[in-house]
Each structure stands twice: as C-alpha cells, then as structure tokens.
C-alpha cells in the first residue's frame, strides 16, 4: 500500500490521453491575443470556454487601472486582511459591492473559492443543518464538509424534494442554512429561486445564493438571479466571484445582516491568506463600474448565447436544458468526447472538456461559454466546427 495508490485512476487516464497525443486537462494557453482569441496547445483558437462573460479582460479602462495600481502600490500586499493586507482600496471595493447589491455589508476574499467555501464553512457549524442542491459547486461541498454541520442534499432543482427535506427538519429549521446557485456552472441551468425563496419564507432558515455565474448577466442591474427573480429580500447572503463577469480573480459575500462583520473574523479562508493584490482590486473596481454603465454588454451576451444555443440545437446535439451563456453538449461516450474536444481544438475552437466526476452525471460535457466580446462571425465559426463533428458520429 502507498499514499499514491488512490491516484492510480488519474494516472491511468492521463497515460491513456498521453498515448493519444491529447491533453485536454491543463491545456496550455501560450498566448492571449484578445478577449476571444488565443493560442492553445499550439493552435490559434476562438476562446469558447473562458467564462469571460462581459469580455472585460482586455478593456482599456480595466488595464489602465491595474497598471496604475501596480505603479503606485506594488505587485502585492504580502499579508492577510487581518495583518497588513487591508489597503484603502479593499475597503472601497467592499463599499462599492455593498452599494451595487443594495446591501449594507460586504466582504472581499482573495478568490471565489475562498469566498464560497469560507462562508459555507463558517455560517453553520456543529449542531446546525445545511441543506444544499446536490449539483452544488465543489467549493460549496468543501465548505460544508469543513463546517461540521449536518448536511442534507436535495435533488438538483427539485423544489418538491427540498420542501420534503425542510419539513422533516422541524424545530431544527431555525438553525438551517439553505444553499443554491444562481446559474449552475456545468449545464448553465438556473435555480428555481422564486419557489425556493417561498419555501424559505414558509419554513424558515437562512438562504445563501452563489451568483458566481449569474452576476453581470441576469437582473435589470446585473445583480444576478435573485434580482431577476424578484426575491432579493429573501436572500440572506449572496456570494460570488470576480473571475467571471468582472474578468479578474477574487470573491465576495454581501448581506444585510450586521453579523457579517463578525463572520469576517471567524472565516479561516479570509483570515489566513494574503489579501488580493492592488492591481486586481483596481481592475475589479473598474469592471464593476463598467458593468453598471454598459448594459449593452449584457444584451450582447444574451444575443450571443441565443445564437450559439439555437445553432447547436439545430445541429441535433443534446445541449443544456435552457438558454444561457453556458452551453454544454452532452456526450455519452468518454472516448468520443475526448476525440471531439481534440477535433474542435484542431479546427480552431477551444471549449472545456468535463468528464466524471466533475460532470453532474455519468457522461462527459463539451462545455462552451460565450462572451459579449464574441462576434457573430466567431459564433458561426464555433458552430461550423461542431457541424463538422456531426459527420463523424451521432451526437451523444
């Protein structure tokens, strides 16, 4: 026996892929040419798997803000927020996030993972209960496991199953945290948040919504699914990331509960990691402003999403259950998914290959994510690359 024995399945898969000359996991982006194009594994490609929803990674204002911050404040903070790592700009970003979400309190984290896992690990503890959607992101699962709370899963987006499990909790509902996502990252489907909020009002507990993939794309102001569904007052905590619509890296949580400031000093992923670098904070603050000033970005994003979704559906692929900037093609056969991913790359299109256990079922996904920066011509080129696959085999 060895500590490494449990990694043998991963070693075997990597060896298989290497023998085929295909390396979809950890594909190397050798050069970024724009928000929508790059060179990946030696191929010039359209980037159709980056989550760069509003296309702000190359926005001149964001880049200029980051450059100025580096020149004036250096490359990093070299300390945690609890020590020397709280700069004035961290506080300003927290204030701006709170104002954007129309909340009184906000916390900024170094990564989206740290935000979501940290809040899930801290809000509930031993003696409490966490009820979460079965298809929740890995960061949520990691957090709730660390919490020490009792964990109850309900079937993905199944309101009836959620109600059954809440009903069973009885008096424990007062110490219960319900966790769902706005848009789920693998298939791009939305939480039935209006119905979930109604259950929360009826049974009690608190509600945390991870808006990582819905911030910037849903709601009149881009605040996410809670705004879009008209249930912001029912959501106790909104968590999210800067690495999608805001084109940077980092995470946050906002709330009207004044206790959030106490939670800040109990969250290990906040206390024991260096704070975000000045350049990241500067570009994020600028992107947050642009998100509000340029609603046309959100409108273009949804035009592109509909274009790709309708095109893949017309080609006969099995795709996500509803239109979203995340459009996933389901492929039942693992070998075919690998070959198709490689053919797309060779055709000049980079997408994400997602295989079990990362995918939500026992199938693989060719996961696309569109951007407001994609042109109609680029969407057509993506569709043409998928159309070429239709001639090689029947879609899964």
Looking at the annotation, which residues are catalytic? 185, 213, 244
First to last CA, the chain: 39
Distance, in Å, from the CA atom of 126 to the CA atom of 142, rounded to the nearest integer, reads 16
Two tokens at 393? Answer: 């085999």
Place of tokens 């009207």: 256
The Cβ of residue 375 has, within 10 Å, a number of other Cβ atoms equal to: 12
Pairing status of strand 326-331 against strand 129-133: unpaired
Is residue 17 within a helix (H) or strand (E), and if so which, with residue range? helix 8-20
| Half-sphere exposure of residue 387: CA atoms within 13 angstroms, side-chain side | 11
Q: What sign does the dihedral 68-243-110-295 (CA atoms) show? A: positive
Distance, in Å, from the CA atom of 216 to the CA atom of 385, rounded to the nearest integer, reads 28
DSSP string, 268-285: HHHHTSBPPPHHHHHHHH
Please give the backbone phi and psi of residue 341, each rounded to the nearest 5 degrees, phi first: -60, -45
Q: Residue length, the chain? A: 396
Instruction: Give whole-number Cα distances, 214 to 31, 134, 209, in Å.
Output: 28, 19, 10
- Tell me the residue ranges of DSSP E strands in 176-287: 176-181, 206-210, 237-241, 251-255
Q: What region does 120 belong to: left with phi over 0, alpha with psi -120 to 50, or beta?
A: alpha
Distance, in Å, from the CA atom of 83 to the CA atom of 87, rounded to the nearest integer, reads 11
């Amino acid at each position: 026996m060895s500590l490494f024995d449990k990694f043998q399945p991963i070693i075997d898969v990597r060896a298989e892929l290497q023998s085929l000359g295909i390396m979809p996991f950890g594909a190397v982006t050798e050069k970024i040419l724009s928000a929508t194009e790059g060179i990946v594994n030696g191929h010039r490609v359209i980037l159709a798997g980056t989550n760069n929803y509003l296309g702000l990674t190359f926005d001149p204002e964001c880049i200029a803000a980051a450059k100025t911050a580096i020149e004036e404040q250096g490359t990093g903070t070299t300390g945690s927020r609890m020590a020397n790592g709280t700069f004035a700009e961290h506080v300003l970003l927290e204030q701006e996030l709170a104002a954007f979400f129309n909340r009184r309190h906000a916390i900024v984290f170094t990564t989206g993972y740290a935000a979501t896992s940290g809040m899930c690990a801290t809000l509930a503890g031993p003696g409490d209960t966490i009820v979460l959607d079965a298809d929740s992101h890995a960061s949520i699962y990691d957090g709730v496991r660390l919490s020490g709370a009792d964990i109850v899963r309900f079937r993905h987006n199944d309101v009836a199953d959620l109600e059954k499990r809440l009903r069973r909790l009885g008096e424990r509902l007062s110490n219960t945290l319900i966790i769902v996502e706005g848009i789920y990252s693998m298939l791009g489907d939305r939480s039935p948040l209006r119905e979930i909020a109604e259950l929360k009002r009826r049974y009690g507990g608190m509600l945390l919504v991870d808006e990582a993939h819905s911030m910037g794309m849903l709601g009149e102001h881009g605040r996410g699914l809670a705004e879009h569904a008209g249930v912001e007052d029912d959501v106790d905590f909104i968590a999210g990331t800067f690495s999608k619509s805001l084109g940077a890296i980092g995470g946050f949580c906002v709330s009207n509960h004044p206790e959030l400031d106490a939670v800040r000093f109990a969250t290990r992923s906040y206390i024991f990691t260096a704070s975000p670098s000045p350049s990241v904070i500067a570009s994020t603050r600028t992107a947050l402003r642009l998100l509000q000033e340029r609603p046309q970005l959100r409108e273009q994003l949804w035009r592109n999403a509909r274009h790709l979704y309708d095109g893949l559906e017309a080609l006969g692929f099995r795709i996500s259950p509803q239109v979203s900037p995340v459009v996933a093609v389901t492929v039942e056969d693992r070998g075919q998914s690998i070959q198709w991913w490689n053919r797309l790359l060779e055709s000049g299109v980079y997408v994400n290959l997602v295989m079990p256990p990362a995918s939500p079922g026992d199938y693989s996904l060719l996961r696309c994510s569109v951007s407001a920066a994609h042109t109609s011509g680029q969407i057509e080129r993506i569709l043409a690359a998928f159309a070429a696959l239709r001639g090689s085999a029947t879609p899964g």
